[in-house]
């Protein structure tokens, strides 16, 4: 009688531990190992220029290309690409804005700052 009770207690213990292990896996599923952490394209507005030289930006066709606009200047800027429907709105100093270049057509598209269109303009090439 006592022996049967001990066997029952051991069996219940195994079931309990196994159950908790299973629940633990459900609550904390293994993390996916290959999170996409691509940095994308960074444009810093400073001294009324983008990245000092208003560089030509290259983006891939048919996929979102992450684009971050950062205002590290003492004045306000924005970033507009009319043909790609990108408009950050006005960014105050130290503000930034994350968007994407996404185009189904290849080509060259003009970007500019609407507050300083004479000095802050360049090209985005989608290919």
Q: Residues in the site for Cu ion, rule: CB under 5 A? A: 77, 113, 115-116, 120
- Residue number of the CB atom closest to Cu ion: 113
Instruction: List the beta bridge partners of residue 98.
Output: 68
CA distance linking residue 110 with residue 84, whole number of Å: 9
| Pick 47 or 62: Cβ nearer Cu ion | 47
Give the CA distances from residue 23 to residues 15, 17, 101, in Å, rounded to whole numbers and listed in that order. Answer: 12, 10, 42
Question: Least CB distance from residue 102 to Cu ion, whole Å?
Answer: 23
CB of 102 or CB of 113, closer to Cu ion = 113
CB of 79 to Cu ion, least distance (A): 8
φ/ψ of residue 84, rounded to 5? -110, 10
Quote the least distance from Cβ 52 to Cu ion, whole Å: 14
For Cu ion, which is the closer residue by CB, 109 or 111?
111
Closest contact distance (angstroms) between CB of 45 and Cu ion is 6
Looking at the Cβ atoms of 100 and 115, the one nearer to Cu ion is: 115
- Distant-in-sequence, close-in-space partners of 107: CB < 8 Å, separation ≥ 6: 125, 126
Taking the C-alpha atoms of residue 69 and residue 97, their distance in angstroms, rounded to an integer, is 5
């Amino acid at each position: 009688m006592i022996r049967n009770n001990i066997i029952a207690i051991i069996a219940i213990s195994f079931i309990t531990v196994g159950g908790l292990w299973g629940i633990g896996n459900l609550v904390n599923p293994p993390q996916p190992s290959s999170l996409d952490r691509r940095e994308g394209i960074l444009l810093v507005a400073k001294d009324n220029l983008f990245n000092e030289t208003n560089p030509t930006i290259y983006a891939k066709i048919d996929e979102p290309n992450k684009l971050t606009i950062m205002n590290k200047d003492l004045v306000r800027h924005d970033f507009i690409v009319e043909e790609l429907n990108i408009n950050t709105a006005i960014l105050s100093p130290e503000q930034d804005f994350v968007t994407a270049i996404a185009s189904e057509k290849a080509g060259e598209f003009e970007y500019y700052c609407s507050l300083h269109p004479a000095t802050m303009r360049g090209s985005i090439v989608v290919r």
